[in-house]
Structure 1
Amino acid sequence: MIQTVLDDTRPTVLAMIVKVEGSSYRKEGSWMLLQENNVRIGMISGGCLENDLHNRAAQLFNTGKAETVRYDLSAEDDLGWGRGAGCNGIITILMRDIDSDFRRILHIAHVQVLAKEPVYFLQSLTDFSRYGCTALNGSQYGKIQLKLPFNLNTMAPFQEAAKQTTIGEEIVYFQLIWPRPVLYIIGAGADARPLARLSGSAGYEVHLLDWRSGVCNEVHFPTAASIQIGDVAKLISNVKFSPLDSVVLMTHDFQIDVEIGRHLLGQKLLYFGILGSKNRTERIFDGELPSSVHSPAGVSIGADGPEEIAVSIMAELIAVRRGKSL
């Protein structure tokens, strides 16, 4: 979403949820862009608030101003938002016209996430003109310079961290922005296609690696961020993996899986899954399944066929990224 703002300079208003009391469709930290040409990117609710937000955005375009809007959706019989939202929550949304200075802060944040490093976004809710970001190394940018009440280096990968904190007499909203999740799919057989499609739709940056140009190509993987063809062992050795990266090994070639699997075992990854039975994976690692390896890859839902297996793997990827146990 930050990339969209930086690439498209047409008048745009950012809407972000800064507080939720009770339950809601989206949580603190959810962003949505509303553009002057009626384009909407992202969602704040299940569709019940977007029209009202766009009407409010029309009053903010090109003003450099910001405001907060509070929506009470707790009444199940309240038809004020269409059919009665019944979300049982009260949502506070900050709306801000994205001017040149705010774009500058977003650019700094974008540089950090491109380097696969999280960055903290800070916004005063007492004085809307005070906002900025803090990098992993402690460098601070913008009009707000505050000592963070937490250590970025100790945060669990991709865990949500969006909240309000009172510092002195100022209410400050903090949001930890993580880099886009990356998924490497090793093996571009027919069963890799639905996994690449689903993971791309879920926001992953997908990279394909295979030795066969006939199956590993843009025709079968049109949305992949990259397609690498060649000696898979050599290709993998050139990848600089991050602890935020995920890998699914699905070549269906046992000898290749042995070589690649043992190499990946030495990498620090967020998720490492291998397609196939647990017994097969144990053979890859000389009879013992390493604790860091998910095998068989995917949640046990009785999946049958490429599409269902892709769904099960995606469920496990999301659970690991969100820190949920299965």
Structure 2
Amino acid sequence: MQQIIETVLADTQPAALAIIVNVEGSSYRKEGTWMLIQESGVQIGMISGGCLENDLHSHATQLFRTGKATTVQYDLSSEDDLGWGRGAGCNGVVTVWIRDIDEDFRGVLDILHKQMQANEPAYFLQSMTDINQYGCITSDGKRFGKIQSNIMLNFIDVIPYQRIAKQMNFGEEMVYFQLIWPQPHLYIIGAGLDARPLAQLSGNIGYAVHLLDWRSNICNEMHFPTAASIQIGDVKKLLSNIKFSSLDSVILMTHDFQLDFEIGRYLLECKLLYLGILGSKKRTKRLFDGTLPNSVHSPVGLSIGADGPEEIAVSIVAELIAVRRGKMI
């Protein structure tokens, strides 16, 4: 989503935004999924597994420069329905809202982008009955755009990265609202060989990846070309300059027991979404005087029998996703 918003703000060519606003039954993607369709033919994001994109593109091209919107419903519930190629068989009905992106709408996206840059969530709202009624509500309660003044949405009790995207009646008006979260940040402490596939894979799924290490010969842009930042020096001092939030994830993988001992205790006092420590559970317990804290994931990653840096990276990223999506038991 951040890539979509940044693209819209940087490239003002005619474009349309498609959002899944309702799903009945099962589908490949859920409510709150965005896709950008530009006049040049570029598409960012996917609404389905590929079976609906061409049809959505056709609808989008009719909206460019019009300031209008449309709602399209796809019934994929019939197993023998060949309407979308060779039959999707998703057993669901997907409703997609598509709207032309004009300058006023870009203004609302700019506010959302500023919230994301500040590492703060915000609600996006769009009336399903009046295209001109849309806007956002920031985490400090400010309202932007044209939205009903009596709409009250909660920031207090939401779980970090909780998916909130649905339609609801406010008076006589049906409104779609979605909680937009900032890009997740992952801090990898230790830039060994095993950190490289982890940084690459986590970056591929949308994390802003930050590397911290004391060795410039291995912690550099050549080995971590997609990293959001690379910090070299005394790791303990580097950490003291970072203001961690409850949306941040950290993986400690220095392979240095004494350093892990000192850093691990410091990180334990930080309010993090995820703290994983590479190594056996026995080793990690030794870091904390024989007891594994509940907030520490060790051994890091899901237990899938992973072997080698690449597979271990897959298990770690799978656990990061599970925690972010609230799927960890």
- TM superposition score normalised by structure 2: 0.98
Deviation sequence 1:118-158 (CA, Å, 0-9, x none): 00001000111100000111111111134445421210000
Paired residue type of 1:139: K
Q: Which residue of the partner structure matches residue 133 of structure 1?
A: 136
Deviation sequence 1:36-92 (CA, Å, 0-9, x none): 011100000000010011111111111111111111111111111111011111111
Alignment of 1:247-286 (within 5 A): 247-286=250-289
Shift of 1:19: 0.6
Q: Which residue of the partner structure matches residue 221 of structure 1?
A: 224
Alignment of 1:4-153 (within 5 A): 4-153=7-156
Q: Which residue of the partner structure matches residue 204 of structure 2?
A: 201
CA distance 1:280–1:135, shift in 2 (3 Å) = same
Unmatched tracts of structure 2, length 5 or more: none
Paired residue type of 2:232: I
Partners of 2:305 and 2:61 in 1: how far apart? 49
Paired residue for 1:246, among 227, 246, 249?
A: 249
The count of corresponding residues between Structure 1 and Structure 2 is 326
Is residue 28–residue 48 contact of structure 2 (8 Å, CA) maintained in 1? yes
Partners of 1:111 and 1:182 in 2: how far apart? 16
Partners of 2:149 and 2:326 in 1: how far apart? 28
Deviation sequence 1:255-313 (CA, Å, 0-9, x none): 11111111101100000000001111111111111111101111111111101110111
Deviation sequence 1:190-239 (CA, Å, 0-9, x none): 00001001100111000000001111011110000000011111111111
Partners of 1:149 and 1:240 in 2: how far apart? 30
Partners of 1:134 and 1:102 in 2: how far apart? 14
Q: Percent identity?
A: 71
Shift of 1:111: 0.8
Partners of 2:149 and 2:175 in 1: how far apart? 10
Partners of 1:304 and 1:89 in 2: how far apart? 38
Q: Alpha carbon RMSD of aligned pairs, Å?
A: 0.9
Q: Which residue of the partner structure matches residue 306 of structure 1?
A: 309
Paired residue type of 1:243: S
SS in 2 for 1:3: helix
Paired residue for 2:235, among 227, 232, 236?
A: 232
Is residue 151–residue 170 contact of structure 2 (8 Å, CA) maintained in 1? no
The answer to whether residue 170 in structure 2 is matched with residue 171 in structure 1 is no
The answer to whether residue 6 in structure 2 is matched with residue 3 in structure 1 is yes
CA distance 1:301–1:113, shift in 2 (3 Å) = same
Paired residue type of 1:291: N
SS in 2 for 1:220: coil
Q: Which residue of the partner structure matches residue 192 of structure 1?
A: 195
Partners of 2:300 and 2:18 in 1: how far apart? 37
Partners of 1:133 and 1:167 in 2: how far apart? 15
- TM superposition score normalised by structure 1: 0.98
Q: Which runs of 4+ in 1 moved over 2 A?
A: 145-150
Partners of 2:186 and 2:151 in 1: how far apart? 31
Q: Which segment is superposed worse, 78-87 or 144-153?
A: 144-153
Partners of 1:57 and 1:172 in 2: how far apart? 21
Paired residue type of 1:33: L
Partners of 1:87 and 1:147 in 2: how far apart? 37
Partners of 1:112 and 1:145 in 2: how far apart? 21
Paired residue type of 2:238: L
Partners of 2:152 and 2:308 in 1: how far apart? 48
Partners of 1:75 and 1:140 in 2: how far apart? 42
Q: Which segment is superposed worse, 25-34 or 140-149?
A: 140-149
Partners of 1:131 and 1:150 in 2: how far apart? 14
Is residue 185–residue 247 contact of structure 2 (8 Å, CA) maintained in 1? yes
SS in 2 for 1:13: strand
The answer to whether residue 265 in structure 2 is matched with residue 292 in structure 1 is no
Is residue 136–residue 153 contact of structure 1 (8 Å, CA) maintained in 2? no
CA distance 1:147–1:256, shift in 2 (3 Å) = farther
